[in-house]
């Protein structure tokens, strides 16, 4: 955890990831990020949290809807079943619902191979299907990005304080 430009991602890519790939094989180290831009900074093996779980913007994040269908079980299971490490960069941009969905679906995909009880997925000992190393890095003070659809639809114009902000813009002059 550190401020912008502190070197968190560089340290991760240059030091931690090579150590993890040495201990576990490279294919058993999962690098994740909430956005495509952040995932690209981690390297070619990195994926976004949603794409690694075959989720799209229309996917429901409700627990009942997150069960893995047979085709998703194969693709998600192939990657997660024997993973030893998972690291997520830019955690402050990660929505809680997506983190929950990732934890649950990872547990589903690892349950058979590791004898897990899926209903225990939220217990500290069973988080993310008992992946041995689970790491998060990022700037805790960084705000998540605002979707452009919010601005286009004028959602922020109806928030409390919006009238005050508009009035301040009209009365403020910079010299």
Q: Which residues contact 141 (CB under 8 A, 6 or more apart)?
A: 3, 92
pLDDT confidence of residue 29:
95
* CB 68 within 8 Å of CB 76: yes
Instruction: Identify the bridge partners of residue 29 per DSSP, sorted by sequence position.
Output: 85
pLDDT digits (tens, 9 = 90+) for 42-100: 999 999 998 888 888 788 888 777 877 777 677 777 788 889 999 999 988 888 888 88
Task: Please state the pTM of the whole predicted model.
Answer: 0.75
Q: Which residues contact 118 (CB under 8 A, 6 or more apart)?
A: 104, 107, 108, 111
Cα 96 to Cα 122: distance, rounded to the nearest angstrom? 13
Residue position matching structure tokens 């490279």: 26
pLDDT digits (tens, 9 = 90+) for 116-165: 888 888 888 888 889 999 999 988 777 655 555 555 555 444 554 455 45
* DSSP class per residue in 24-46: S-GGGEEEEESSHHHHHHH-TT-
Average pLDDT for 7-31: 93
pLDDT higher than 50, residue 174: no
């Amino acid at each position: 955890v550190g401020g912008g430009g502190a070197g968190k991602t560089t340290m991760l890519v240059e030091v931690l990831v090579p150590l993890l790939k040495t201990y576990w094989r490279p294919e058993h180290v999962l690098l994740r990020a909430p956005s495509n831009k952040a995932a690209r900074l981690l390297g070619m093996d990195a994926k976004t949290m949603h794409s690694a779980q075959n989720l799209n913007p229309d996917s429901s994040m409700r627990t009942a809807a997150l069960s893995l269908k047979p085709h998703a079980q194969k693709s998600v299971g192939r990657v997660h079943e024997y993973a030893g490490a998972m690291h997520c960069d830019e955690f402050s941009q990660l929505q809680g619902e997506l983190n929950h969905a990732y934890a649950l679906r990872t547990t589903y995909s690892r349950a058979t191979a590791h004898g897990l009880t899926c209903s225990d997925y939220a217990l500290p000992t069973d988080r993310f299907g008992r992946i041995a190393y689970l790491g998060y890095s990022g700037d805790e003070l960084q705000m998540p990005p605002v979707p452009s659809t919010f601005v286009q639809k004028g959602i922020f114009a109806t928030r409390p304080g919006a009238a005050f902000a508009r009035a301040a813009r009209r009365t403020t002059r910079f010299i």
